[in-house]
Amino acid sequence: MSTVAEMSALGWRGGGEAWLWRRQLWAWEEEMVEECKALLADVVLQDNVTDYWVWRPDPSGGYSVQGAYDLLTSRGHKRLLRNRLPTKDNLVRRHIIPQGVDLCVVGCGVPETDQHLFLSCPAFAPLWGLERSWVDISAVDPSQLHDHFVQFMHSAGGPLVRRSFLQLLWLCTIWVLWHERNSRICKTKEMTVHQMLDKVKTHPSGE
């Protein structure tokens, strides 16, 4: 793995050697690379300036758990709820992958949309039922992501702290499902739904 300095030396502008890969990237990886390039486009490295850490959402106050939570819940779900994740149907719509290769990665024969992937895929959807049993809530899952998010967060009622916990739990579940989907695309080890639940429990920060 290269350091930032090594990538800068190789050149991370368009066509730079920092963007050469040991294997051909998947379509969804190429989109992530383009997003990374966009983030680096405005970065200027200065040899005479000492490096230091900055928490950009709050440069003066610095990092805090509450600040990270606020960032996650204010931005993390918006890309999903606006249907901006690089699901296969979105990649087809953007002409990144051809039509006909947009089926769900688990082999269920259904086109991969965000609604299907996170809410109705037979390999992933049971995770929500396990989570409801874990936190002792019961409800019928809506078919739309936005409705699902709102209902999951408010289904238990109670104080704000519990709703905040359920909101974070929902986001962590989406994170686990998305990474499991990517792992299956790369043909690495597949997790069972119970293993996915354990990952949600033990990796609440999404690390």
Max distance between CA atoms of the chain, in angstroms, equals 59
pLDDT of residue 180: 92
CB 102 within 8 A of CB 92: yes
Query: Is pLDDT of 82 > 80?
Result: no
Task: Point out the least confidently predicted range of 14-18, 175-179, 202-206.
Answer: 202-206
Cα–Cα distance, 177 to 125 (Å, whole number): 9
| Whole-model pTM over 0.85 | no
Give the residue from 89, 113, 114 showing the smallest Cα distance to 101: 89
Comparing 38-52, 112-126, 168-182, which segment has the lowest mean pLDDT? 38-52
Residues 86-126: tens digit of each pLDDT: 889 888 888 888 888 899 999 999 999 999 999 999 999 99
Tens of pLDDT, residues 119-159: 999 999 999 999 999 988 877 778 888 888 888 887 666 67
Least confident stretch, 54-58, 113-117, 138-142, 188-192: 54-58
3-state secondary structure of 103: strand
Mean pLDDT lowest for which of 159-163, 168-172, 202-206?
Answer: 202-206
* Mean pLDDT, rounded, of the chain: 79
Cα(108)–Cα(61) distance, rounded to whole angstroms?
A: 48
Helices (H) and strands (E) in the chain, counts: 10, 0
Q: Check residue 168 and give its pLDDT.
A: 81
CA pair distance 85, 184, nearest whole angstrom: 17
Using a 10 angstrom Cβ sphere, with 0-12 exposed, 13-18 middle and 19 or more buried, the burial of residue 137 is: middle
